[in-house]
Structures are given as C-alpha cells and as structure tokens.
Structure 1
Amino acid sequence: MNFLARHRIVLPIVSLAVLLAATFWMQPRAMSYFGVNLLFNLAVPIALATIAQMLIIMVNDIDLSTGAFVSLAACVTATLLNDAPLFGALVLAGLVLAYAVLGAVIHALALPAIVVTLGMSFVWGGLALVLLPSPGGASPGWIRTLMTVKPPLVPMAVVAAILIAAVTHLLVIRSGIGTMLRGVGGNARAVARSGGSVMRLKALAYGLAGLFNVLAGMALVGLTTSADANIALRYTLLSIAGVILGGGEFTGGKVSPTGAVIGALTLTLAASFLSFLRLSPDWQIGAQGAILILVLTARLLFTRRSGPA
C-alpha cells in the first residue's frame, strides 16, 4: 500500500497550503483576521454540502440534486423557518426524511442513483420556485448571529470547518455505524452476509446527507440574509469536486471527511485567488476546473510513483 493511499489527507493539505501561500503573496492584506474571514466566508455551507455528497459517494452512489436541495432548504429557512419556526423546522425534518426514503427506494428497486437524483433535482428546484418565486425572505436572527459570531484568534468559518471535520471524522471513521456505511461502499454483499441491512444503511446514508444539506442551506441563508431558488445550484459540482479533491474515490467506500472539508476550503479559496488575479468571471469556473485537474493529476502521479509497498 503506498503512502498516499494510507494518508489521503496529505495532498489536500499541501494543495490548500500552496494556494493560501499564493493568495497571501498576491494580496498581503489578506493575511489578517478580517482577510482570512473574507477568503473563507462562504466555506461553511460548501463544506457541509461536500460532506453530504461524500456520504452518498461513500455508498457508491452520486447525488446530482445537491445544489437544488440546498437551494430548497435555503428557501424554507428564509421563509417558513423565519415566519413560523416550528412549522419550518417540521418541513426541514420532512425533507431529511424524504432524502432517507429516496435512498431506500433507490436500493430496493436497484435504480441508478445518478438518474434518480438528476430527476429529483427538478422536483427540489420546482418546490423552491413555488415557495420563493423571486429572491427574498430573511434569515432567522439566531442563524445570522451564529454565522457572524467572531471568535478570538481565528474567524468563524475556520472554527466551523474544524468542527465539521472533527464531527464527521468521528461519525464516519471512528464509529461502528460509520464502518458499516463504508462497508456498503466497499462490499455490500459482505455487509448483507454479516446480518446488516444494506437498504437501511443506504437510507441512513441518504438521511445523513439530507441533514448536512439542510444545514448547508441554513448556513448559506445566515451568511447571505436571504435566499432564492437558484442560490446554491453550483454546489452540486463543487461538492463532487471537494470530495475527490479531498482524497475520496467514487467506488469502494474510500473517503476522507477531513479531506473533504479541506477540499471545500480549497475550492472556496480558489475563487478568491482567481478574483485577486482579476480574471473575468466568465473564465473563473474553467480556471477552478484546471486547478482541480492539476491536483488530481498530481495525486495520480504520486500514487503511481509510490507503487505498492
């Protein structure tokens, strides 16, 4: 087993460090509490959505409805949760349950997740449009306060990213249920033979993903103070990229929660870095893709050079 296979976190950390150093070199003023806060301001909702995508990839599926679902959760937060907190909370809980049921149905009927989630993206998007036809709504005060709090030493975005990484690491890597979920991605038949219910485990994975997506939508509204039906559509591709950039793989249940969070931070920082380069917004998405390709190419090259131990 090679070094990078055993230490998936190394390359994501190096990638983030190099990009952060380049950003500080180009814009020294960013090397401050306020500067770092601006650089990673939108990192928390992206990190939460990336963790949600990682949970789906961990069981060998892929979710193409992440962006639309986060947008719907944001619309519910900015309207129902703000105007009628109890009812809004029930609706968000219902969305999480719907995600869990979706996972169970995909497994029970042996449906391709990529097709089902693509179809569901239109459902989530349609519900978001019905709820909020035009940009508007308002963030609940407690969410706004939580997302704008200023801890000492390091900004809230960094503190939140560390907490997300720690909690998901304990859940996915250290807990027994996390081992079972990774086992579904690694060898579902073995899990079934050992007495585990693959359908229930997939429903759990999807339910947890739905929970993290709801949290992403809430965090996004806390930062932007309003919502619209298309507010997080880019999160689908960003979440997939964050998981892979963080050392995850599409098959085998091989994921890294900490790496996924670092991948999300890297993608967030890349957007700021490209802005400092004064690159046209029309080219920024392509440039972000180029950065991702470079990192993945480096991972492939190092993996091949390391070879089997």
Structure 2
Amino acid sequence: MNRYRILLPVVSLAVLLGLTFWMQPRAMSYFGVNLLFNLAVPIALATVAQMFIIMVNDIDLSIGAFVSLAACVTATWLNDAPLIGLLAMAALILAYAGMGAVIHALELPAIVVTLGMSFVWGGLALFLLPTPGGAAPEWLRAIMKVKPPLVPMAVVAALLIAGVTHLLVIRAGLGTVLRGVGGNPRALTRAGWNVMQLKALAYAGAGLFGVLAGMALVGLTTAADANIALRYTLLSIAGVILGGGEFTGGKVSPVGAVIGALTLTLAASFLSFMRLSPDWQIGAQGAILILVLTARLIFARRGETT
C-alpha cells in the first residue's frame, strides 16, 4: 500500500501529461512545459501547508484566504518597507502556531476554527489591499523568472519543495514525532512530549509554507488581490489526498502531495485544451480525484485480502 501511495499519483500525472502532449504537441518543449506548470509552485507550497495540518488529523479551511493575505503583504509592505513586511510575515506564522495551540488546548474542531479564521485573514487582506494592485519586489520577480537549463523553473522548484519537505517530514526525527501526533498522540504524551506544542509547531510549518505560497504567487503575477488564492483551499486538500495522504493516522506523503499539486495544475491546462467551460472544470477535476482515489481503494482492499 505504501508503494501504491506514491505510485498512483505518479501514474496519474504521467497519463495527464501524455494526453496533454498528444492534444497539443507544441507543449512538448521548454516553453510549453513552463506554461503548463507556471502556477504549480504556489499551489505546491499551499498543498504542503495543508499537508502539515492533515498530518495532525486536522483540516484547514483558511489556507486559501491566508495565502491571499500573505500575497497582499508581499505586494505592499514587503515591497515598500521590507523590514515591516518581514515582521508581518513572522507574525502571521506565529498566529498560525497560536491557532493550532488554541485548537488543541480547548479541544475545538479545527474545521470550524479555520473556517472562522478564513474571514479574519480575508478581512485583513481587504484592509491591506481593497482593490487589486501592489507590486512584487524586484528580487522576488527575479527569482521566479529564473530560467534554468534543460527544465523550467516550476519543475526545478517542485523538485526542491518535494525534496526538502521529504527530509523534514519523513527523514527527520522531529517530522516523525509530528506524524505521531496524527497517529498516536497518547503514546507521545506517555513518552514525555507536549502534544500542544507539537501541534502548534505543525501549524507553524503550515503558516511558513502558506507565506511562501503567497510570495511565490506574487512573484509570478507581479501584483496581488485579496481573493487571489481562495481556490487554493480545495486544491490543497485535493492535492494532499491525491498524493496519498489520509485524513487520519498521520499518513502523508510530501513527495506525493507535490505530485498531486502538479497533477491538479496540469488538469486545469488539459481541460482548457479540451475547450471545456470553466464552469465544468472544477467538476472535472473532482472526477479525476475520485478516479485516483477509487484506484487506491481497490489496491488497498487487494492488499488486505492477500
């Protein structure tokens, strides 16, 4: 099952990529691949942020609004007054950690708290940027527009994100402990760990990657909007599950989550090539997710019977 957990998202990405190249042969080039995965980096970062929450058996319905707020901070304070912008980003990460601590201490349902916080993040984003605008810092635009040899920046960045998060979550000892919060928190308590602090740390990790997602998005779009990343909430959840994660047990796959984000990004381009109406594209993306999950369930049941 662990093998299929990563194999299925890889196969789904490969199939979609093959179909896309078949429909649009001109996409099989450096420039074409760059266009296909142009917005994959912020989506992958937001998906990793959601993964940190799902890893501790919670779910975050505010990540889209949070990424939008981080984008607004990037396009305003970080560009005009870098020190204030950095302090604001640090405050946002601490606020996310505090949200995780409060959820655990008061035994509140994360889905309700994060839904409420989405309005807080959205209100702050509107306060900072009532109308679309702002500007990306020059250094950020330069980073996002780098053109590495052989493969586009989006692919290189996705590989880096997957590698770093794999080391943090799977290989590092602290990552193992954090996954234990979702797997067996009572065992961690008996071992002397403070579960509230660990959950706050997981939420801080989500806040960090959410901030990076907002920065990457502004680096690509060169401007911001209070609603620029609202759809990232559902995309991030779908990316984690598509990549082999589960809502319980601390079972996540950082590499799979990034692949899931790439698959959903590519699915949007593929559906556009099919000239499918935007009103139907979200439903079609959901159908792709259901197909992959159905295949995973079939393999899981076969594993149980053998």
Q: Tell me the residue number matched to 1:284.
A: 281
The one-character-per-residue Cα deviations of 1:167-216 (angstroms, maximum 9, x if unpaired) are 00000000010010000000000001000110000000000100000000
How far apart, CA to CA, are the structure 2 residues paired with 1:6 and 1:226? 41
Work out which of the residue numbers 125, 130, 133 in structure 2 matches 1:128: 125
CA drift of 1:299 comes to 1.1
Q: Tell me the residue number matched to 1:238.
A: 235
The 8 Å contact of residues 5 and 296 in structure 2, kept in 1 or not, is answered as no
Structure 1 gap segments, 5+ residues each: none
CA drift of 1:306 comes to 3.0
How far apart, CA to CA, are the structure 2 residues paired with 1:308 and 1:227? 51
Q: CA RMSD in A?
A: 0.8
How far apart, CA to CA, are the structure 2 residues paired with 1:176 and 1:297? 33
SS in 2 for 1:307: helix
Answer yes or no: is 1:270 the counterpart of 2:267. Answer: yes
SS in 2 for 1:9: helix
Q: Tell me the residue number matched to 2:293.
A: 296
Aligned residue pairs total 306
Q: Tell me the residue number matched to 1:101.
A: 98
How far apart, CA to CA, are the structure 1 residues paired with 2:270 and 2:12? 13
The one-character-per-residue Cα deviations of 1:194-246 (angstroms, maximum 9, x if unpaired) are 00110000000000100000000000000000000000000000000000000
How far apart, CA to CA, are the structure 1 residues paired with 2:92 and 2:125? 12
How far apart, CA to CA, are the structure 1 residues paired with 2:168 and 2:2? 21
Work out which of the residue numbers 83, 86, 91 in structure 2 matches 1:86: 83
Q: Tell me the residue number matched to 2:145.
A: 148
How far apart, CA to CA, are the structure 2 residues paired with 1:45 and 1:232? 9
The 8 Å contact of residues 183 and 250 in structure 2, kept in 1 or not, is answered as yes
CA drift of 1:304 comes to 1.4
The one-character-per-residue Cα deviations of 1:126-179 (angstroms, maximum 9, x if unpaired) are 000000000000000011010110000000000000000000000000001001
The one-character-per-residue Cα deviations of 1:5-26 (angstroms, maximum 9, x if unpaired) are 3441100100000000000000
TM-score normalised by L of structure 1: 0.98
Answer yes or no: is 1:195 the counterpart of 2:192. Answer: yes
SS in 1 for 2:149: coil
The 8 Å contact of residues 38 and 154 in structure 2, kept in 1 or not, is answered as yes
How far apart, CA to CA, are the structure 2 residues paired with 1:178 and 1:170? 8
SS in 1 for 2:133: coil
1:307 maps to amino acid: E
CA drift of 1:308 comes to 5.0
The 8 Å contact of residues 5 and 303 in structure 1, kept in 2 or not, is answered as no
How far apart, CA to CA, are the structure 1 residues paired with 2:305 and 2:178? 27
The 8 Å contact of residues 76 and 135 in structure 2, kept in 1 or not, is answered as yes
How far apart, CA to CA, are the structure 2 residues paired with 1:94 and 1:296? 37
The 8 Å contact of residues 99 and 207 in structure 1, kept in 2 or not, is answered as yes
Structure 2 gap segments, 5+ residues each: none
How far apart, CA to CA, are the structure 1 residues paired with 2:159 and 2:241? 19
The 8 Å contact of residues 55 and 209 in structure 1, kept in 2 or not, is answered as yes
1:240 maps to amino acid: I
The 8 Å contact of residues 4 and 296 in structure 2, kept in 1 or not, is answered as no
How far apart, CA to CA, are the structure 2 residues paired with 1:200 and 1:250? 21
1:181 maps to amino acid: L
2:71 maps to amino acid: A
1:205 maps to amino acid: A
